Structure 1
């Protein structure tokens, strides 16, 4: 009898503890104060703690939509788009009049790379909020992601019809028009002035570029005046897309002038890596009376509005393998056509010093050289015109008098016009 009483007491105590535990997990506090605390946690990189707090509040206040919407938004920030969609759907089933929820839910689909779903959602939201500028802007973004920039432009025109001074829509329209300008022509002019030995050398290039869905195609005619002689070279550059994060560079150039190699060609593969890194590996070949191969590659890193890259060159020659390299830094402004750059080079490579030679390149690969180049590129307000300026200073060993050096001062100007 005593043992039965003890067992019964134990069972009652166990369930009592279980019940107390169940009571303890229920939220019992000020939801607004706890919500504010969760927001502070989320904005201070303590997202998991914030989400736990928000979920805890929702156990008692499941229809506190601001809390659920913020929880969904934190899921979006973390790339958990399915979790976010579930929370947004819960809210919109009960309240379709919240524009902020529609906007957050549409952004979640855009971030989750589901632009067609985003378009459908914006259409539904626009039934509740006709001609709303924020929703129309999101619709244009989704249309662009589905490779329909013309439809995106039409949507932006609806915004600008209502408010011609909408700066965000105007800038987006300019950007889309720039992307639709798949053709470009350009001119480059440069001169090298030598401190000794050589007269100034002049270089000009006429370029046509077309952007296709397979990648860029660039045709170029190079004109060079050196040693009181003129010469032409014809080049084609291709940048074919191979797969996501992988593309190539293909080049071929032909000339009948001794100022250029008879044939030059290049091949290089570029691969995107995590953390905004990019690597490449390739070869360049210059054919004069003999053939010179240049092996190269690059390691680049995009961080914020900056780009840093290092490119080495390895050139086998008669006296061994020459090693040279270039370190490049760019500070971008509004886009890839607007930046300030600096490049530092050490060593002689026929790839970057090709205009300093006019015969068998392999003879000169052991020359010593140092170079600094400053560049500034900018565009017009409508992005259709692009200009570039460069200024470089080189300290280079004289080809036929090794051990002695001269200075080379280089100035280059370029202009490009984009059109549809």
Structure 2
């Protein structure tokens, strides 16, 4: 009987030991459920297994920042950028001086190609951690990536929404494999490798808009189709514009180019031609832009418009500033007349907020003075295109752009209101309301 009792006790002890061991093991994979094991798995490249263990540990120990941080990094390596962002934000909401978490959070946005968000995070991190070389490097990387994208607005005057300096310096990417090694061994230096990811180099955009008036004029409809080609020297955008105004239709052939010049410098060049009386015969425009690393952008240039009976010249300059997810731009136009009192000035102010990335944004544009868009009307049989250069107006418009889930398509809508002086009755004004929709896709 004693032997039976001893046997039973031994069995109970073995079961107890086995039960304890089972509690520290991932029964599906056979790996110990602890941070050190997950750390080693992450170092060995077994990201999925490490993430599974860390996810479970994080739920059991939500106060353990070290566990949550490594879990968020493994989520990022797997491509689950949204969940990784949530975990990083949870930590940074209370631990704003945690350098490694800031770095990992910025890299997560770079992996996700949310370059504007990455830049915003880098700027914010540098508020808490001053003059950090790695944070500065990630900030510059975000600037380079964001600056690869051009944002030519419709209209030859082109209130350009460049984010920062275009550079001939080769951009670099953070290799996820190297990131894992750095996470596992803080003494290792992250390797820089040239960008190998493919960037869509072509874009087609189709636009349609309508303008209605509170008096006298019939509605104006316009549309355009453009093709953008990104090259190593800059982008080129041919465009075909069509307009129906006051019972007349016309076509305009237009082309924009954004050649790169040198580090921090790029240009905008435009030419348009039309045989229709609804458009100028020829129009030429150009600007030289300089982007400073501080996020400030300057430009200077001019516009030349050739009508059937006269030529118009304008001098233009702009000041832009990018801060966090916001872009501010102030542009002015000075159009000298034949007499000093006919010299006119106008301006546009653009405020744009970028959302999850540089392709998703909303903005406001306010302008005063003559309209550089040269909206043309008629009085009897006489077109008033030239006269409108010296007519006062105020305008306000709102724009919103968002992308599809795969980021291959984008949709932009804009609505605006214009208050403009009557050309045939100085001192009296009419109002117009416009709305437009643009669809564009990349390939």
Q: For this structure pair, what is the TM-score category when the shorter chain's length is used for normalisation?
A: 0.5 to 0.7
Partner residue of 1:316 out of 336, 351, 356: 336
Any idea what SS the aligned residue of 2:178 has? Answer: helix
Query: C-alpha separation between the residues in 1 aligned to 2:230 and 2:173?
Result: 28
Partner of 1:200: 219
Query: C-alpha separation between the residues in 1 aligned to 2:202 and 2:236?
Result: 10
Any idea what SS the aligned residue of 1:335 has? Answer: coil
1:78 Cα deviation from its structure 2 partner: 2.6
1:353 Cα deviation from its structure 2 partner: 3.6
Any idea what SS the aligned residue of 2:343 has? Answer: strand
Partner of 2:263: 244
The structure-2 alpha-carbon separation of the partners of 1:229 and 1:109, relative to structure 1 and needing over 3 Å to count, comes to: closer
Partner residue of 1:272 out of 274, 280, 291: 291
Query: C-alpha separation between the residues in 2 aligned to 1:359 and 1:383?
Result: 43
CA contact (8 A) 1:385 1:416 kept: yes
Query: C-alpha separation between the residues in 2 aligned to 1:221 and 1:110?
Result: 35
- Tell me whether 1:352 sits opposite 2:370 in the alignment: no
Higher relative contact order (CA 8 A, sep 6+): 2
The structure-2 alpha-carbon separation of the partners of 1:110 and 1:296, relative to structure 1 and needing over 3 Å to count, comes to: closer
CA contact (8 A) 1:317 1:365 kept: no
Q: How does 1:331-350 map to 2 (within 5 A)?
A: 331-349=353-371
- Tell me whether 1:148 sits opposite 2:196 in the alignment: yes
Partner of 2:327: 307
1:364 Cα deviation from its structure 2 partner: 3.1
Once superposed, what is the RMSD of the aligned Cα atoms? 3.8
CA contact (8 A) 2:417 2:433 kept: yes
Query: C-alpha separation between the residues in 2 aligned to 1:233 and 1:383?
Result: 30
Query: C-alpha separation between the residues in 2 aligned to 1:339 and 1:116?
Result: 25
- Tell me whether 1:122 sits opposite 2:178 in the alignment: yes
Q: Deviations over 1:87-117 (max 9, x none)?
A: xxxxxxxxxxxxxxxxx9x989989x99889
Query: C-alpha separation between the residues in 2 aligned to 1:309 and 1:122?
Result: 39
Q: Deviations over 1:74-93 (max 9, x none)?
A: xx963557xxxxxxxxxxxx
The structure-2 alpha-carbon separation of the partners of 1:402 and 1:118, relative to structure 1 and needing over 3 Å to count, comes to: closer
Listed as ranges, the gaps of 5+ residues in structure 1 are 1-41, 46-75, 82-103, 151-179
Query: C-alpha separation between the residues in 2 aligned to 1:267 and 1:336?
Result: 24
Partner residue of 2:207 out of 179, 184, 188: 188
CA contact (8 A) 2:376 2:388 kept: no
1:342 Cα deviation from its structure 2 partner: 0.5
State the aligned residue count: 287
Query: C-alpha separation between the residues in 2 aligned to 1:238 and 1:223?
Result: 20
Any idea what SS the aligned residue of 1:364 has? Answer: helix
Any idea what SS the aligned residue of 1:275 has? Answer: coil
Q: How does 1:154-165 map to 2 (within 5 A)?
A: none
Q: Deviations over 1:187-234 (max 9, x none)?
A: 000111011111001110011111111111001000010121110000
The structure-2 alpha-carbon separation of the partners of 1:119 and 1:194, relative to structure 1 and needing over 3 Å to count, comes to: closer
Partner of 2:246: 227
Partner of 1:43: 97
- Larger helix percent: 1
Any idea what SS the aligned residue of 1:210 has? Answer: strand
- Tell me whether 1:415 sits opposite 2:439 in the alignment: yes
Query: C-alpha separation between the residues in 2 aligned to 1:223 and 1:120?
Result: 48
Query: C-alpha separation between the residues in 2 aligned to 1:78 and 1:260?
Result: 53
CA contact (8 A) 2:376 2:383 kept: no
Query: C-alpha separation between the residues in 1 aligned to 2:346 and 2:172?
Result: 49
1:335 Cα deviation from its structure 2 partner: 1.9
1:404 Cα deviation from its structure 2 partner: 1.2
Greater Rg, structure 1 or structure 2? 1
CA contact (8 A) 2:374 2:389 kept: no
1:363 Cα deviation from its structure 2 partner: 3.3
1:304 Cα deviation from its structure 2 partner: 0.6
CA contact (8 A) 1:183 1:208 kept: yes
CA contact (8 A) 1:317 1:363 kept: no
